[in-house]
Amino acid sequence: MKTKSGGRENSEDLRAIFHAKRLKCTPQRLAVLKVLKESGAYLSINMLDKKVKEMLPGTGLATVYRALETLEELGLVAKVHLEDGCHSYAVAPEGHMHPIVCTECNKVIDFAECPLGELSEKLTQDTGIVIQNHFLQLFGKCRECQA
Amino acid sequence: MKTKSGGRENSEDLRAIFHAKRLKCTPQRLAVLKVLKESGAYLSINMLDKKVKEMLPGTGLATVYRALETLEELGLVAKVHLEDGCHSYAVAPEGHMHPIVCTECNKVIDFAECPLGELSEKLTQDTGIVIQNHFLQLFGKCRECQA
DNA sequence: GTTGGTGCAAACGCTTTGCATCCAT
DNA sequence: ATGGATGCAAAGCGTTTGCACCAAC
């Protein structure tokens, strides 16, 4: 049984993660992360900005951008390209996995296990190309939205 | 043996493809497509604009944008999100496949066959989520760039 | 001749940056 | 106390749009 994403780090751990890279553990950064954890969905920057301002009024949009950049560096959140070209963010999954985004409610339903290790090896053998990286997202409709 | 991408439509076919949707077959649109075919790589809009202007001086940047939009609608080119967030385009593959982009030379080395049909079915059975769509790109190093 | 396409420039929206101030350490 | 982080506003940049003219049909 896997742990459900969303509660992986407690606040002590978080402080340590920041401090390990000489980064400060600020309310703004924590607020951005909290909004993402509580939502469980991919959120656009604007939506994030809106929710962060509710939680911590006075937070500037630029700070949200900077916080996301920092959190991504730390591996705490993952950036995604939605189909309309809009950038969004969600809390990062634990291992190497890929999100399934519901096209109706925009929630991250689950993280599919990565089917690509196998494919990568096969490709390297067949073609000599060394696969370094990949980008995979699944879009679908969750059970609730199928009703 | 599959045909190599790059010579799939001759000019007659192309005219027909445009006309089928009441679109005009203009030199600008053809130039954009030709640049992509001759390059065989993912090209950023700026690079495309530069090369199209070489081939057809006087072409405006807005026209390049509009041509790409049209060509994508027709399924002739594919849009891609590169890792830096920059949009690029390449000629579209024939079936449902996924590009491998060389991280050194930015060329499209090959199109991997899609490994996801199987996964999608499994996911639908296991979780009830209906997978509608996915987005996959592979990044690697081609043989030449490994030297 | 009609209709859609083009070129240009202005407008637009998302993102980044400069700088003074603030606050986590 | 000190250096990184913030807030604000301005700048930057990729992309889209309005409009008069042009070219494919």
Boundary of a domain, candidates B93, B114, B138? B93
Q: Within its chain, how far is the Cα of A60 from the centroid?
A: 21
Chain B contact present for A128, CB below 8 A: yes
Range of the domain at B141: 96-147
Boundary of a domain, candidates B66, B93, B120? B93
Same domain assignment for residues A21 and A63: yes
CB B59 within 8 A of CB B112: no
pTM of the model: 0.77
Which residue in this structure is represented by tokens 């979780």?
B127
How far apart are the CA of A11 and the nearest CA of chain B, in angstroms? Answer: 31
Number of H helices, E strands in chain A: 6, 6
Looking at residue B5, what is its pLDDT? 42
Boundary of a domain, candidates B72, B93, B114? B93
Question: B127 vs A134: CB contact, 8 Å cut-off?
Answer: no
Q: Which amino acid is at B6?
A: G
Identify the CA nearest to B117 among candidates B99, B136, B101: B136
How many domains does chain A divide into?
2
Beta bridge partners of residue B79, listed in sequence order: B89
Chain B contact present for A69, CB below 8 A: no
B29 vs B121 pLDDT, higher one: B29
Same domain assignment for residues B109 and B131: yes
Looking at residue B116, what is its pLDDT? 78
Same domain assignment for residues B21 and B63: yes
Residues sharing a CB contact under 8 Å with residue B29, sequence separation 6 or more, in sequence order: B18, B67, B70, B71
Question: Is residue A3's pLDDT more than 60?
Answer: no
Q: A122-136 burial, b for 16+ CB within 10 Å, e for fewer?
A: ebeeebebbbeebbb
Q: How far apart are CA A95 and CA A29, in angstroms?
A: 23
